Amino acid sequence: MALPDPTPFPLDHLLRGAADAPALLTRSRDWTFAALEEAVAAVAGWLDAQGCAPGERIASWLPKTVLACVLPLAAARAGLVHVPINPALRRAQVAHILADSGARLLVTQSARAETLDPADVPAECRLIDEGEVPLAGGGPGRSTADPQSLAAILYTSGSTGRPKGVMLSHANLWLGAVAVAHYLRLSPSDRVLGVLPLAFDYGQNQLLSAWYAGAAVAPLDYLTARDVVKAVERFEATTLAGVPPLWVQLLDVDWPAATAARLRRLTNSGGALTERLVRGLRARFPAAELVAMYGLTEAFRSTWLDPALIDAHPDAIGRAIPFAEVMAVRPDGTRAHGEPGELVHAGPLVAQGYWRDPERTAERFRPAPPWSASGGIAVWSGDTVVEGEDGLFRFVGRDDEMIKSAGNRISPLEVEEAVLAGGEAREAVAVGVADARLGQAITVMLAGDAAAEPALRARLRSLLPSFMQPAHYVWRDALPRNANGKLDRAAIRAEVTA
Residues 6+ apart with CB under 8 A from 3: 182, 322
Pairing relationship of beta strands 57-60 and 126-129 according to DSSP bridges: unpaired
CA distance to 86, 192, 243, 244, 407, per residue, from 437 (Å)? 22, 24, 11, 8, 11
**Quick one: pLDDT at residue 498?**
83
Separation of alpha carbons 353 and 7, rounded Å: 21
The SS3 assignment for 267 reads: strand
Q: Is residue 346 predicted with pLDDT exceeding 50? A: yes
User: Torsions phi, psi of 94, nearest 5?
Assistant: -65, -45
For the chain, what is the total number of helices (H) and then of strands (E)? 14, 25
- Is pLDDT of 1 > 90? no
Residue 290 to residue 36: CA distance in whole angstroms: 30
Q: CB burial class (10 A; 0-12, 13-18, 19+) of residue 364?
A: buried
- Burial (CB < 10 A; 0-12, 13-18, 19+), residue 280, is middle
Q: How many C-beta atoms lie closer than 10 Å to residue 144's C-beta?
A: 9
Cβ proximity of 393 and 319 under 8 Å = yes
Report the 10 Å Cβ neighbour count for 230.
14
Q: State the pTM of this model.
A: 0.87
Contacts of 330 (CB under 8 A, 6+ apart): 336, 339, 341
Percent of the chain with pLDDT over 70: 97
Contact 101, 57 (CB under 8 A): yes
Residue 404 has pLDDT above 90, yes or no: no
Q: Is the pLDDT of residue 318 over 90?
A: yes
The pLDDT mean for the chain works out to: 93
**In sequence order, which ranges of 263-365 are alpha helices (DSSP H)?**
275-284, 358-364
Alpha-carbon span 165 to 270, nearest angstrom: 18
pLDDT in tens, 161-175: 578 999 999 999 999
CA distances from 433 to 272, 438, 495 (A): 15, 10, 11
CA end-to-end distance (rounded Å), the chain: 47
Q: What is the pLDDT of residue 395?
A: 86
- Name every residue whose Cβ is closer than 8 Å to that of residue 362 and which is 6 or more positions away in sequence: none
11: confidence class by pLDDT, cuts 50, 70, 90: very high
pLDDT digits (tens, 9 = 90+) for 262-316: 999 999 987 778 787 899 999 999 999 999 999 889 999 999 999 999 999 988 9
- Do the strands 105-108 and 81-84 form a parallel or antiparallel pair, or are they unpaired? unpaired
- pLDDT beyond 60 at 158: no
> In this predicted model, what pLDDT tens digit does every residue of 380-403 receive, in sequence order?
999 889 999 999 999 877 666 778
Residue 238 has pLDDT above 60, yes or no: yes
Separation of alpha carbons 305 and 320, rounded Å: 9
**348 to each of 9, 209, 352, how far by Cα in Å?**
13, 17, 10
Contact 341, 385 (CB under 8 A): yes
Residue 374 CB-half CA count within 13 A = 20
d(CA 211, CA 66): 14
Query: What is the H or E stretch that residue 274 is in?
Result: none
348/271: higher pLDDT? 348
Q: Which CATH number fits domain 403-497: 3.40.50.920, 3.40.50.150, 3.40.980.10, 3.30.300.30?
A: 3.30.300.30
147-163 burial, b at 16+ Cβ within 10 Å, e below that, comes to bebbbbbbbbbbbeebb
How far apart, in whole angstroms, are the C-alpha atoms of residue 335 and residue 329? 5
- Mean pLDDT of the region 11-22: 98
Are 427 and 447 in contact by the 8 Å Cβ rule? The answer is: yes
Q: Taking a C-beta distance cutoff of 8 angstroms, is the pair 25, 206 a contact? A: no
Q: How many other CB atoms sit within 10 Å of the CB of residue 48?
A: 16
Cα separation, 261 vs 255, whole angstroms: 9
63 class by beta-carbon count within 10 Å (0-12 exposed, 13-18 middle, 19+ buried): middle
Domain boundaries, the chain: 403-497
CA angle, residues 393, 397, 401, in degrees to nearest 5: 145
> Closest Cα to residue 173, out of 142, 212, 126, 129?
212
**Model confidence at 157: pLDDT above 80:** no
39-87: pLDDT as tens digits: 999 999 999 999 999 999 999 999 999 999 999 999 999 999 999 999 9
Q: Which amino acid is at 413?
A: L
Looking at residue 243, its pLDDT comes to 85
